[in-house]
Structure 1
Amino acid sequence: MEGMDPRRVHAALSLLVDGRWWTLADLVRESAAPRRSVEALLAGLAVERDGDRFRLGAEQGRQVGEVLEGGHRPFAAADPVGHLLAEYEAVVERLREFIAGAPRGRHVLDHVAATPETVVRRALLLGARFWLADARLLCVGDHDLTSLAVGMIHPQVETVVVDIDERILAYIDERAAELGLSVRTRWADLRLGLPGSAVEFADLVVTDPPYTADGVGLFVARGIQGLREQGSGRVLLAYGASDRTPMLALKVQNALSDLNLVSEAIYPDFNRYSGAEAIGSAADLYVLRPTSKSLPAATARADRFSAAIYTQGPQAVEAREQLKVSAEDLGDVRPDVLVGAWPKDVLPEVPRVRLSTWLAKPYAAKVRQAGVALPAGMEASLARVLLATRAERVRVVSPEAVDLADLKVILEPVYELRSDGPVIEAVRRTDEHRDDSVWRILRAVMDRAHGKVANTWRDALIDVHGALTKRQTRAMVAEVAPWARDATLLELPMHRLRELPDAIRASLAGGGASG
């Protein structure tokens, strides 16, 4: 049991002495001890087994019980909001249903579901520690559905969820609409930036990031950028590490130190998970307070964090192989700009721009043709990369083939798409004056993807209707698509882009459709 925290040993043994049957996962979760430590503990005990379950035999249970009774009994720290949980049993049960019905976690995004009790306790801690009247919350990633728990317990809080997982965004929007919660979703690959509508938006930030130093550093940095008042804002971070790997925890804490943050509070083992057994199915909750140097540090460092921020899959820390691209991948395209990490020896005379800059603002010079190098794990940004330009032709080189079926439907007003393995080519359509009002408005919105959707939609409605005023069209758009408020097309989740044609059709009919 070398390397195992004595408190964890005591906790695990205390659970075993009553003779109940346990699974390894259950014992890990209840004791908050790393899986390897529990396995080492069990290896030294004579346990009875029944399939994947085990228990101490009666005689050994008695012996271990005598040892525990005669030895030191550690005190258990009080849960800061545990006493409030009983009052919210109905919310816990509703969250249990939501978590069970949510899209399955993606291991390449380091998804592990928090328990419903954990998610509700996060919401309760926000209410116990912070003033939430008219507060704004930013969830930087929300596979755990913290946004729904906060909305159910503190309906006055306005929440924005930023995530890369389109399935989670669609699920949160569906559940939030069902409950009438003030929750909006935005798509983002945080390695490429925080959505503009989320910058300086929030009073509080909650994040449960990938547990690598770069993953924690990146998500927290984006959270800092999301605070509207650095002096009063706080970032709540869930982070856990095994007792056996203190150097990993040190790297993470160094990343937080580099962001000039004060650890105002750390609640040990506050977060519990259905999984994550390597860290005892538990993680601490940090309350981080920005200083006057935090935002400059976040701005300077956010774009420098490695693209490999996860622990598994092609974006894992161990998988740092660069996308191999060459001039041959451009075919007969003669680019006016190269987007992404092209090697220096590929068309050195052609201007270059980072993917993050490409998505953040319109490219200043006129672009007829563009070449894009899309790194591994960033395929989800393809639609936004194409919408970010009005180039006549765009050639995208990806590490592997991308399914274009959905994109062809969504981008049909602006692009004809085709692919040859990992190479995608988009050719801009030239029939922008087609006599179809829905199509014309869609084209106008997609041609100005960096602009606020509500504004470009409003202007296009006026062009089509003629007699309508800005006030009238603004109200029509707000009625059929409240989710478009303050968002650019590049921030909207894919399910909203799919809904856009029907919403535009409803606005042409004078409103009346639900958002």
Structure 2
Amino acid sequence: MEAIAALIAQAGVDGRRLRTVLTLLGDGRWWTLADLVRESATSRRTVEALLREVELERSGERFRLREPLIGLTGGGLAPADPVAHLLPGHAGLVARMEELIAKAPRGRQALDHVAATADTVVRRALLLDARFWLEGARLLCVGDHDLTSLATAMLHPGVEVTVVDIDERILAYISEQADRLGLAVRTRWADLRLGLPASAQSWADLAVTDPPYTPEGIGLFVSRAVEGLRDRERGRILLAYGASERTPALALKVQHALSQLNLVNEAIYPDFNRYFGAEAIGSAADLYILRPTTKTWPAVAARVDGFGAAIYTHGPQSIESAPAPAPASAAAGPAPEVLVGEWPKDLLAKTPRARLATWLAKPYASDPARVAIAVPAGLEAALPRLLLATRAQHVQVTLAGPPKDLPTELLSAVYGLTVEGRTVHAVRLPPPATAEGRILRRVLDNAHGKLANTWREALIKARDGLTKKQARAIVGRLAPWADDVTVLELPACRLQQLPAAVAASLTAPDAAGSPD
């Protein structure tokens, strides 16, 4: 008892956390360590320190107090969040989200994925619905491993949702479920270090993000969320961020990063978000409501390109990882006419250079025949888009290591691919002979342009007598996901559907019911 009392006294006013843990342990239920950490929103390290001082009754990995500790409990649970009273009325939605989360792709440690609980994503949706007018509003999810997009769209079908993520598995899963459930959720691929997709820029009224919990990750994801807002006066950003009660200095760094973006903290709800994992921070994170000011956009423009590639806490792009060395030289053979990415300054010093982000954002001014691209560790997911972003005859891509899971099927309509160690050579194929192949090739060769527009024009050329209105209607029926999107931001799951949809558009009836 004395040791426990000493721990509580040492915690000072934050001793409520320890009393909460003891209250939970003494309520008769069996607990696992993970469940106790999540329910109390207290770091694993603090909980373990307390458990070492109490007598526990154990059953396998579960435990509880043998008897309540009189005088040391009574902390109770944390104050209710602003929408806790609404949750019981949405038990059906929580159950549906539990099922969707259970079937979703598993998290990737290199992307700092930790799954939020079903009631967390439903409470996020409830808070959005209670705080803002969602009918006709647009919500941008800047990363959505937690499936907040689906919860919000199911709660309020009147909101349009766009999900931007780097994980093709998540995008495919959200697209599949949105199609199945008839939800207005569209998906876009992006590595946020290289920019926000064009169709998501200045698009949203609200944005929500649960980014990597580093100052660099918070700064980058929130900056992209700001870029996604169309309502500069009344737009809001909901940010999930958590730190251990033992490390307030980490939270200070993050709040400093937000302050540098000239954002107003309208509210911070402590421990609003709960997770399966992240026990070092109590399996919990606060929820920030941020409001931009007139000074936010200049601050974002000045800082967003300076966050760098190292934004995660794990993997090759963690903030602790050593930067990968730049390629020592371009491949043997004719010299490239453009160097894309980070190359040594003394290599082909007179050759024009372009940043990876610029290469993806807009077509290159000239029409080079040979291009060399350097892709650092952690940005390999951008490889297909970097290849599609050029119309060069030969593209050499140098990676940090030998390529894994090279998307040959996705690129086979445009390139012949060969691999030498960590270098990929892509040689542009001759023009296709079939009408189907020509339409597909034209779409992929104009990857920076609006997919639906390029497809429509190619279809008109292939089908005599077809009007623009008829061609637009055919594309809209066969590929509603193709509207207002470029090839470069389309998820791989949609790109894989493109060849079959293009083939069908050649014989699809027009509005009059005739193929021609």
1:364 corresponding residue in structure 2: 365
- The amino acid of 1:113's aligned partner reads A
Alignment equivalent of 1:21, drawn from 1, 25, 30: 30
Report the Cα distance in structure 1 between the residues aligned to 2:168 and 2:95, rounded to whole angstroms: 25
Alignment equivalent of 2:123, drawn from 121, 124, 127: 121
SS in 2 for 1:93: helix
**CA shift for structure 1 position 323:** 3.2
Report the Cα distance in structure 2 between the residues aligned to 1:79 and 1:417, rounded to whole angstroms: 54
- The amino acid of 1:377's aligned partner reads G
Alignment equivalent of 1:262, drawn from 261, 264, 270: 264
Alignment equivalent of 2:447, drawn from 429, 446, 449: 449
- Whether 2:386 is the aligned partner of 1:377: answer no
1:388 corresponding residue in structure 2: 389
1:497 corresponding residue in structure 2: 495
Offset from partner CA, 1:236-267 (integer Å, 9 cap, x none): 00000001111111110011001000000111
The answer (yes or no) to whether the contact 1:159–1:184 under 8 Å persists in 2 is yes
Query: How do residues 35-114 of structure 1 correspond to structure 2 at under 5 angstroms?
Result: 35-58=44-67, 61=68, 64-68=69-73, 73=75, 76-114=78-116
- Whether 2:135 is the aligned partner of 1:147: answer no
The answer (yes or no) to whether the contact 2:143–2:210 under 8 Å persists in 1 is yes
Report the Cα distance in structure 2 between the residues aligned to 1:93 and 1:191, rounded to whole angstroms: 35
Q: Which range moves more in the overlay, 439-448 or 14-23?
A: 14-23
SS in 1 for 2:187: strand
Alignment equivalent of 1:132, drawn from 128, 131, 134: 134
The answer (yes or no) to whether the contact 2:56–2:66 under 8 Å persists in 1 is yes
Offset from partner CA, 1:111-147 (integer Å, 9 cap, x none): 1111000000101101100011210000000000000
Offset from partner CA, 1:159-196 (integer Å, 9 cap, x none): 00000000000000111111100000000000000000
Report the Cα distance in structure 2 between the residues aligned to 1:289 and 1:422, rounded to whole angstroms: 44
1:236 corresponding residue in structure 2: 238
Alignment equivalent of 1:482, drawn from 480, 483, 487: 480
- Whether 2:258 is the aligned partner of 1:249: answer no
The answer (yes or no) to whether the contact 2:324–2:400 under 8 Å persists in 1 is no
Report the Cα distance in structure 2 between the residues aligned to 1:215 and 1:256, rounded to whole angstroms: 11
**CA shift for structure 1 position 507:** 1.1
Report the Cα distance in structure 1 between the residues aligned to 2:478 and 2:76, rounded to whole angstroms: 58
1:306 corresponding residue in structure 2: 308
2:3 corresponding residue in structure 1: none
SS in 2 for 1:490: helix
SS in 1 for 2:364: coil
Q: Which range moves more in the overlay, 140-149 or 342-351?
A: 342-351
2:417 corresponding residue in structure 1: 417
Report the Cα distance in structure 1 between the residues aligned to 2:348 and 2:293, rounded to whole angstroms: 43
- The amino acid of 1:493's aligned partner reads P
1:276 corresponding residue in structure 2: 278
Report the Cα distance in structure 2 between the residues aligned to 1:54 and 1:101, rounded to whole angstroms: 29
Shift of the 488–129 alpha-carbon distance from structure 1 to 2, 3 Å rule, reads same
Report the Cα distance in structure 2 between the residues aligned to 1:361 and 1:185, rounded to whole angstroms: 20
The answer (yes or no) to whether the contact 2:326–2:376 under 8 Å persists in 1 is no
Alignment equivalent of 1:458, drawn from 450, 456, 459: 456
- The amino acid of 2:102's aligned partner reads A
Report the Cα distance in structure 1 between the residues aligned to 2:119 and 2:77, rounded to whole angstroms: 22
- The amino acid of 1:381's aligned partner reads A
The answer (yes or no) to whether the contact 1:163–1:189 under 8 Å persists in 2 is yes
Report the Cα distance in structure 1 between the residues aligned to 2:421 and 2:491, rounded to whole angstroms: 25
- The amino acid of 1:353's aligned partner reads A
- Whether 2:332 is the aligned partner of 1:331: answer yes
- The amino acid of 1:197's aligned partner reads S
The answer (yes or no) to whether the contact 2:19–2:72 under 8 Å persists in 1 is no
**CA shift for structure 1 position 421:** 2.1
Report the Cα distance in structure 1 between the residues aligned to 2:400 and 2:241, rounded to whole angstroms: 31
Shift of the 76–396 alpha-carbon distance from structure 1 to 2, 3 Å rule, reads closer
**CA shift for structure 1 position 21:** 2.1
* RMSD of aligned Cα (Å): 1.5
**CA shift for structure 1 position 75:** 8.0
Shift of the 335–201 alpha-carbon distance from structure 1 to 2, 3 Å rule, reads same
Alignment equivalent of 2:185, drawn from 180, 183, 186: 183
SS in 1 for 2:72: helix
1:355 corresponding residue in structure 2: 356
Shift of the 90–331 alpha-carbon distance from structure 1 to 2, 3 Å rule, reads same
Report the Cα distance in structure 2 between the residues aligned to 1:49 and 1:229, rounded to whole angstroms: 55
1:159 corresponding residue in structure 2: 161
The answer (yes or no) to whether the contact 1:187–1:492 under 8 Å persists in 2 is yes
**CA shift for structure 1 position 20:** 2.8
The answer (yes or no) to whether the contact 2:141–2:161 under 8 Å persists in 1 is yes
- The amino acid of 1:450's aligned partner reads H
The answer (yes or no) to whether the contact 1:170–1:495 under 8 Å persists in 2 is yes
Report the Cα distance in structure 2 between the residues aligned to 1:46 and 1:313, rounded to whole angstroms: 39
**CA shift for structure 1 position 511:** 5.6
SS in 2 for 1:309: coil
Unaligned runs of 5+ in 2: 1-6, 511-516
The answer (yes or no) to whether the contact 2:326–2:342 under 8 Å persists in 1 is no
The answer (yes or no) to whether the contact 1:458–1:477 under 8 Å persists in 2 is yes
Offset from partner CA, 1:341-362 (integer Å, 9 cap, x none): 1121211111111000000000
Instruction: Give the alignment's TM-score, normalised by structure 1.
Output: 0.95
Shift of the 374–83 alpha-carbon distance from structure 1 to 2, 3 Å rule, reads same
The answer (yes or no) to whether the contact 2:389–2:448 under 8 Å persists in 1 is yes
- What fraction of aligned residue pairs are identical, expressed as a percent? 60
**CA shift for structure 1 position 324:** 3.2
Shift of the 425–511 alpha-carbon distance from structure 1 to 2, 3 Å rule, reads farther
2:4 corresponding residue in structure 1: none
SS in 2 for 1:418: strand
**CA shift for structure 1 position 50:** 3.1
Figure out how many residues of one structure are paired with residues of the other and give that number.
Answer: 501
Unaligned runs of 5+ in 1: none
